[in-house]
Structure 1
Amino acid sequence: MFSRLFDAIGETATTAFSGVVEAIRTAFAGDPETRRKVAFSVAVIALSAKMAKADGIVAPEEVRAFQEIFAIPEAEASNVSRLYNLAKQDVAGYEAYAQRVAGMCGSGENNCAMLEDVLDGLFHIAKADGLIHHKELEFLANVAEIFHIDEAYFERIMARHVHPDGINPYAVLGLPETTPFDEVKKRYRVLAAESHPDRLRARGVPEEFLTIANDRMAALNDAFSVIEKARAAA
């Protein structure tokens, strides 16, 4: 699918990533399902490359983390590499690209689930070298704001990935510690349903990216288990 995209883009892809963005709609106009997958893939490729550059260096661990969530077929490897290298040249312009990505959820939609999937992928890459640099966190927070993801929602996403003092299970579920257990259970079930792999497929998330869904489900399961055991022992 990336070779089709580059055929549509032509030489513009060697000088401007914006050419990639504009070509997705026309290259896959008659195939909306593939268009969603390509748009999602390009979003993560571009933003992960730009984020990796945000702290001044693209670490080998970050490149490997990118490869973990994108099992690229050998025939597509050179095209994906072209996209990644083009995007990582500098951080400039990521805001405009993030705005285009946000448009995949419709104008002004808040807390779009597909954009949470993108942020999860970016966090996965950012933490791959063992430390999320403060400039990377600023990058992620700015992207979340452009995505119309509110502060509370972003804090819940971040709690799954950034926890220097240990994971706070209530933060993972986005609840105060005084929440009655019945409400905790209800929130857990809603979040687990939203994170089911079938839901992600319906949003156009590529199959190989579902490792992120598994990590999210593991975090949700662990958070609920910790709370459940603590409430039972109280």
Structure 2
Amino acid sequence: MSLWTRISDALAALANGESLTAVFDRLRAPPERSVAFAIAVIALGAKMAKADGHVTRDEVAAFREVFQIARDDEAGAARVFNLARTDVAGYQEYARRIERMFSDDPKTLCDLLEGLFHIAMADGFYHPGENRFLEDVAEIFGVSEAKFKALRARFVPDAGPDPYTVLGVTPDTPIADIRNAWRELVRETHPDRMLARGVPQEAIKLAERRMIDINRAWEDINDKAA
């Protein structure tokens, strides 16, 4: 059974009059975590679309890139998006429900936030409304300011690809400690490590770019120190 078939089944289980937020209270345990992750990214992405006032083809393509949406599954993805976009519940309520859903796995919340950055930057422009949206979601998720800045530095060109921020260190951090920070991030981002903690396949796909950014940041810092 494909991911999108399971998503359609989850939506079909909604009772008359129930909003999409009801799904977040039900999909708490593996293997439904992958369904929950996909719905959460698309639902919050739909809410984020309101932040800059429109949805571009590039943002739709970003969904496709992460979730490998086949033509037969487009209707299911569109339904999730439209349910979220028209739901009277605000994005803060979505974020709180999702935080509770993944309360035992804060790293997956960071993965989810990474997916939202990926979508926000798909059109090449980081709207101030998107920044406010992502800051609010990060706070609700319990993502630290340092981790948020690291994500923003990786995705947003005008934030400056500062390698120290990407690795969560400062320029005056000893090089040995920076190396340790880099190695720990590489370990956390390795697909085997992510699979071991039950991370959805979609989050692992997003982590491929993260690994590139982490290694590039270390190379920049190490070259300066040489």
> Normalising by the residue count of structure 2, what TM-score does the alignment of the two structures yield?
0.89
1:77 aligned onto 2:74: yes
Contact map agreement 2:153 2:160 (CA 8 A) in 1: no
Distance 1:151 1:91, change over 3 A: farther
CA-atom RMSD in angstroms: 2.1
- Seq. identity, %: 44
Task: Give the structure 1 partner of residue 51 of structure 2.
Answer: 54
Distance 1:66 1:221, change over 3 A: same
Contact map agreement 2:44 2:91 (CA 8 A) in 1: yes
Task: Give the structure 2 partner of residue 162 of structure 1.
Answer: 156
- Using the TM superposition, give the Cα deviation of residue 74 of structure 1 relative to its aligned residue in structure 2, in angstroms: 4.2
Q: Deviations over 1:91-132 (max 9, x none)?
A: 85110110111112327x8xx211110011000000111111
Equivalent residues in 2 for 1:176-195, closer than 5 Å: 176-195=170-189
Separation (CA, whole Å) in 1 of partners of 2:186 and 2:166: 12
Q: Which residue identity lines up with residue 7 of structure 2 in the other structure? A: F
**Structure 2 residue ranges without an equivalent (≥5):** 1-5
Separation (CA, whole Å) in 2 of partners of 1:165 and 1:22: 35
Separation (CA, whole Å) in 2 of partners of 1:225 and 1:55: 35
Equivalent residues in 2 for 1:143-222, closer than 5 Å: 143-164=137-158, 166-222=160-216
Distance 1:156 1:24, change over 3 A: same
Task: Give the structure 1 partner of residue 126 of structure 2.
Answer: 132
- Using the TM superposition, give the Cα deviation of residue 174 of structure 1 relative to its aligned residue in structure 2, in angstroms: 1.1
Q: Which residue identity lines up with residue 5 of structure 1 in the other structure? A: A
- Using the TM superposition, give the Cα deviation of residue 84 of structure 1 relative to its aligned residue in structure 2, in angstroms: 1.0
Separation (CA, whole Å) in 2 of partners of 1:144 and 1:103: 14
1:4 aligned onto 2:9: yes
Separation (CA, whole Å) in 1 of partners of 2:26 and 2:166: 37
Contact map agreement 2:99 2:109 (CA 8 A) in 1: yes
Q: Which residue identity lines up with residue 187 of structure 1 in the other structure? A: A
SS of alignment partner, residue 177 of structure 1: coil
Task: Give the structure 1 partner of residue 102 of structure 2.
Answer: 105
SS of alignment partner, residue 69 of structure 2: coil
Moved more, 46-55 or 76-85: 76-85
Q: Which residue identity lines up with residue 127 of structure 1 in the other structure? A: M
Contact map agreement 2:25 2:101 (CA 8 A) in 1: no
Separation (CA, whole Å) in 2 of partners of 1:138 and 1:184: 30
Distance 1:47 1:203, change over 3 A: farther
Q: Deviations over 1:24-83 (max 9, x none)?
A: 35xxxxxx3222111111111101111122111111111111111111244433222101
Moved more, 84-93 or 118-127: 84-93
Residue of 24, 32, 45 corresponding to 1:21: 24
SS of alignment partner, residue 33 of structure 1: coil
Separation (CA, whole Å) in 1 of partners of 2:21 and 2:76: 16
Separation (CA, whole Å) in 2 of partners of 1:227 and 1:167: 12
Deviating runs (4+, > 6 A) in structure 1?
none
Contact map agreement 2:21 2:97 (CA 8 A) in 1: no
| Count of residues in Structure 1 that have an aligned counterpart in Structure 2 | 221
> Normalising by the residue count of structure 1, what TM-score does the alignment of the two structures yield?
0.86
Q: Which residue identity lines up with residue 24 of structure 1 in the other structure? A: L
Contact map agreement 2:33 2:200 (CA 8 A) in 1: no
